[in-house]
Structure formats: structure tokens, C-alpha cells
Amino acid sequence: MLFLLRKIRRKLMEKNKFTTYPLYAVGEIILVVIVILIAVSLNNWNDSRKNSIIEAEYYCKLISDFELDRKNISKLYQESQYKIAISKKLLLELNDAKKDKAYFIDNYIQALRTNAYIPSKATITDILSAVKLNLL
């Protein structure tokens, strides 16, 4: 394509046709603009494709974080149920004089120990720190 344009330009310059040369120059400018527009559209398409891949990865990470949170909540729920059962048993055994103080203290401490729920927010922190919230 460029070879053809150079050949036309050379012929026009050799024939001293300065009136047709501006038409040739405008045509060449239009061709360059078209090529630039095609390159920009390809770049936008590629950026869009990359963003959709990143978006899918973030969704998968969020789902795995929510699954981990669900498992942690389930585990804490089971521990709480166990502690309630120990507390009820301890209350029923308080009047029993046969049990020693160490038994009651151990059960009391075990019943009162609590575990706090800490949500998994690694993906959310990553999204917010990378300013990628607009992808979602």
C-alpha cells in the first residue's frame, strides 16, 4: 500500500501537477486517520477483554472469600452450641458437693472463652486498593 502511494506521489511530482498533489496529500491524511482509528479501536477492544478477565477473577475470589466466611461462621456456631451445653451442665452441677473447685473453674473458663468472627476481606481490600471497583 505504501509502495503504491509513493509511486503515485513520485509520478505527480515528476509531471509537475501541483494541483492534484494536494488531493493526494488529503487522501494520504485520511488514510493515516483511518489507520489510527482502527488502532485505537483495537486497543479499546483489548483493554475491554483484559478488564473482563480481571472482573471474572475478582468474582471468583469474592465467592471463595464468602465460602470461607460461611465455613468460619458455621464453625463458630458449633462452638457456641458446645459452650451453651457446657454452661448448662455446669449450672446443673454447681450444687454437687462431690466436684472439686478445679473442675468447676476449668468448665467455667471453657464456657466463657469466646472466639470473635473475623471476616475474610482480602479480595475487597485488593479491589479497593487497586481502584478496580468500576470493573464490578
Q: Which residues of the chain have pLDDT under 70?
A: 1-2, 5, 9, 12-21, 97, 133, 136
90 exposure class (CB count in 10 Å sphere: 0-12, 13-18, 19+): middle
The pTM is what?
0.61
Using the Cα atoms of residue 70, residue 72, residue 78 and residue 80 in order, give the sign of their dihedral: negative
The one-letter amino acid code at 125 reads: T
Query: What pLDDT score does 12 carry?
Result: 66
Q: What is the pLDDT of residues 79-111, one digit of tens each?
A: 888 888 888 887 777 777 677 777 777 777 777
CB 58 within 8 A of CB 135: yes
Query: Can you read off the three cell numbers belonging to residue 5?
Result: 502511494
Query: Can you read off the three cell numbers belonging to residue 52?
Result: 473482563
Query: What pLDDT score does 56 carry?
Result: 92
